[in-house]
Amino acid sequence: MSTTAKKKGGFTAEEKAAMKARAKELKEQTDGETAVREAIAKMSPSDRAIAKKLHDLITAAAPGLTPKTWYGMPAYAKDGKVVCFFIPVSDMPKGSASSLIVARPEPSRSRTARRVGSARAANARSTAV
């Protein structure tokens, strides 16, 4: 049985591991910088190289962001809310070609503003073609 196969009504092994990692993060009182460096150290060599460069870039460009781990992944928060995080290739679904850096939208933006922004972007793409 594959580790990604879901049992009826249950969680996959990856989902369980992510939940355990998040619970551990919430219990520990580890410094965010230390936790991020430990998470990076556990990555494969190729992911580690990308994550180290990304960490250096984010901490230099946005010193107001606080490093922390989020579901076991290196993340950066402002006022306690995660604004971006790094998903290594090893954690991506099969067939994915690269790592992923995810930036979360500002919580203050309303749904209407996001829809208007999306509509404008779609209109710009269609007129550019």
Q: How are strands ordered across the β-sheet holding 81-87?
A: 66-70, 73-78, 81-87, 100-103
Q: Write out the residue range of the structural domain in which residue 117 sits.
A: 13-123
Domain-embedded: residue 128: no
| CATH number, position 42 | 3.90.1150
The yes-or-no verdict on residue 16 having pLDDT over 80 is: yes
Domain count, the chain: 1
Q: What is the pLDDT of residue 114?
A: 47
CA 85, CA 99: separation in Å to the nearest integer?
A: 11
pTM for the predicted model, two decimal places: 0.61
User: Residue 89 — pLDDT band, cuts 50, 70, 90?
Assistant: confident
Domain-embedded: residue 90: yes
Domain-embedded: residue 5: no
Structure tokens at 93: 């679904």
pLDDT per position as a tens digit, 27-82: 777 788 999 999 999 998 988 998 999 999 999 999 999 999 888 889 999 998 88
Q: What is the pLDDT of residue 2?
A: 47
Domain-embedded: residue 64: yes
In sequence order, what DSSP letters do the residues of the chain get, joined into one string? --TTPPPTT---HHHHHHHHHHHHHHH----HHHHHHHHHHTS-HHHHHHHHHHHHHHHHH-TTSEEEEETTEEEEEETTEEEEEEE-GGGSPTT--S-EEEEPPPTTS-HHHHHHHHHHHHHHHHHH-
Domain-embedded: residue 114: yes
Domain-embedded: residue 7: no
